[in-house]
């Protein structure tokens, strides 16, 4: 299959024995874990909160009889990423699906928060994705099979006042995924990136965003994001939008920044309860 193209309809869907999912304790990451468990995939769960990981692991073990492992790690901390990278390279119960779902950010102008806080965002959203992709791709190409599924964002298509670091980091994920997919063409290793739009999770509140003014029908449930993401990865698709509305909105990145940025700026000011 040519690099960068969607799988042909005659191509068999990809299957996996073991997946490693970051951000597995809540939100999209947890929903992807649950979706994979339904399909009988064993899962290594990675996140910062040990008690939440244990809860998710116990639930899917009981309901779907899959095997689980837990790695407690803050992926923004370099020393804590080591165990995750090592697990991706292990041959026993080899990982054949990596899901990079962990991510986050803080809203406000770039200098609203300290450079240390902005560096944390970059380590989590960019550096950890880069390092885990590198570890997974190296191991998977040795075996001749595997899949990398990266979770980006619809905001990765825009230069957004009020979320500069987050949007830039998700653009990094989009471009890294596309390039890695091309470079791994013919190796048996696939790369898919999914770009959710507004999603019904607690991540926005943690970032300082108020989404209560957005109509509920515009917020995609995490289970739907997980279904779309896993299906796209199984079919070997390159880039997947969660729904038609999100796909249409991403087309607006063709609008010159001098027009789009004032609009985005107003949206983020409203979402952070700031007054023009």
Residues with active-site annotation: 166
Ramachandran bin of 16, using left for φ above 0, alpha for ψ from -120 to 50, beta for the remaining angles: beta
Render 85-131 in DSSP notation, one character per residue. HHHHH-STT---EEEE-------S-GGGS-HHHHHHHHIIIIIHHHH
196: phi then psi, degrees, rounded to nearest 5: -70, 150
- DSSP 8-state symbol, 270: H
Strand order through the sheet with 42-47: 68-72, 42-47, 18-22, 97-100, 146-151, 189-195, 239-241
CB neighbour list of residue 275: distance below 8 Å, 6 or more residues apart: 269
3-class DSSP state of 46:
strand
Q: E strands of the chain, at which residues?
A: 18-22, 42-47, 68-72, 97-100, 146-151, 189-195, 239-241
Q: How many CB atoms lie within 10 A of CB 151?
A: 29
Helices (H) and strands (E) in the chain, counts: 10, 7
């Amino acid at each position: 299959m040519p690099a960068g193209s969607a799988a042909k309809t005659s191509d068999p869907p990809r299957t996996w024995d073991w997946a490693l999912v970051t951000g597995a304790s809540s939100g999209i990451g947890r929903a992807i874990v649950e979706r994979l468990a339904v399909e009988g995939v064993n899962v290594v769960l990675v996140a910062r909160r040990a008690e939440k990981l244990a809860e998710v692991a116990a639930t899917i073990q009981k309901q779907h009889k899959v095997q689980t492992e837990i790695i407690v790690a803050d992926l923004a901390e370099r020393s804590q990423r080591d165990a995750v990278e090592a697990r991706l390279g292990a041959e026993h119960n080899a990982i054949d699906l990596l899901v990079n779902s962990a991510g986050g950010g803080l809203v406000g102008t770039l200098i609203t928060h300290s450079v240390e806080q902005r560096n944390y965002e970059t380590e989590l959203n960019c550096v950890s994705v880069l390092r885990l992709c590198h570890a997974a791709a190296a191991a998977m190409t040795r075996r001749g099979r595997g899949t990398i599924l990266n979770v980006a964002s619809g905001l990765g298509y825009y230069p957004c006042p009020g979320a500069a670091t987050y949007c830039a980091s998700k653009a990094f994920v989009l471009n890294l995924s596309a390039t890695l997919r091309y470079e791994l063409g013919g190796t048996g290793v696939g790369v898919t990136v999914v770009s959710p739009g507004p999603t019904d999770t607690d991540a926005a509140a943690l970032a300082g965003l108020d989404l209560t003014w957005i109509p509920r029908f515009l917020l995609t449930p995490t289970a739907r994001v997980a279904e779309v993401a896993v299906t796209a990865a199984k079919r070997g698709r390159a880039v997947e939008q969660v729904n038609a509305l999100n796909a249409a909105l991403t087309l607006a990145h063709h609008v010159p920044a001098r027009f789009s940025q004032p609009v985005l700026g107003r949206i983020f000011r409203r979402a952070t309860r700031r007054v023009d």
